Amino acid sequence: MVQSVIVDRRFCVPGPVDLVMVRDKIASQYGNFVIGDVNGNMMFQVKKPGFGLHKKMILLDSSGSPVLTMKEKSMTLHNRWQVFKGGSTEECDMLYTVKRSSMIQRTTKLDVFFGQNNEEKTCDFRVKGTNWLERSCVVYAGVSDVIVAQMQHKKHTRHTALSGKDSFSVTVNPNVDYAFIASLVVLFDVIDRQESAKGIGTDNFEAAHVVHGLFQ
């Protein structure tokens, strides 16, 4: 059975959730995101603190309150990120860890381990890139073939190619924590671009059409 509530019960709903995630294309690898629904209503933002030694991103809700803090663990070989509840980075508040499945991989694949899964023998969720050209991914429950969410880059026009933004469409299955899924897509994007910078694949992001002028 798929665990539904991971971040907070308020982010689990009976029906599917469609998210639009927009990131500045010209931003650094830890770029800011705005996340909303298809009608242009903002649901989350991802901000990176301006100061500090650690690479960190904070997922905020529509009121600006911190929902999750994502921090890269230094000196690791698998691009390990730890995700904490709210604005905390204390070990007691760690919810899950996200890391590359292997050192060398043709497409980006990530394993997700809950905080209590100390041995990390079997992942609780996994994220699999569809192929290096599309820069899209599928989220599975554990090692099964059960799909809980899918992300695709959105197509763009000549006009929006100059907008300086990348746009992703995400479909989250019913009763799956969509704040959790949003954080996985953000981390997939960051790690995928890190691998591209190292020469694994090609950083060929497409700036996409932003539905109804979303977040402009």
Give the CATH number, domain containing residue 25: 2.40.160.200
Smallest CA-to-CA distance from 124 within 95, 85, 88 is with 95
Q: Is residue 9 part of a domain?
A: no
Q: Name the token pair of 38.
A: 């298809």
Q: 21-30, 121-130, 195-204: which has the minimum mean pLDDT?
A: 195-204
Over range 3-23, report the average pLDDT: 93
Over range 1-29, report the average pLDDT: 85
Task: List, for residues 134-162, the tens digit of each pLDDT value.
Answer: 789 999 999 999 999 999 977 554 544 55
Q: Name the token pair of 20.
A: 């639009």
Q: 70-79, 137-146, 153-162, 164-173: which has the minimum mean pLDDT?
A: 153-162
Q: Is residue 138 part of a domain?
A: yes
Q: Is residue 216 part of a domain?
A: no
Q: What is the pLDDT of residue 149?
A: 97
Q: Is residue 3 part of a domain?
A: no
Q: What is the pTM of this model?
A: 0.85
Smallest CA-to-CA distance from 137 within 96, 81, 98 is with 98
Q: Is residue 4 part of a domain?
A: no
Q: Name the token pair of 2.
A: 């798929």
Q: Is residue 214 part of a domain?
A: no
Q: Is residue 34 part of a domain?
A: yes
Smallest CA-to-CA distance from 166 within 209, 117, 102, 131 is with 209
Domain coverage including residue 147: 14-208
> Which of helix, strand or coil describes residue 196?
helix
Q: Is residue 130 part of a domain?
A: yes
- Most distant CA pair in the chain, distance: 49
In eight-state DSSP terms, residue 75 is S
Split into its structural domains, the chain has a count of 1
Q: How confident is the model at residue 208 (pLDDT cuts 50, 70, 90)?
A: very low
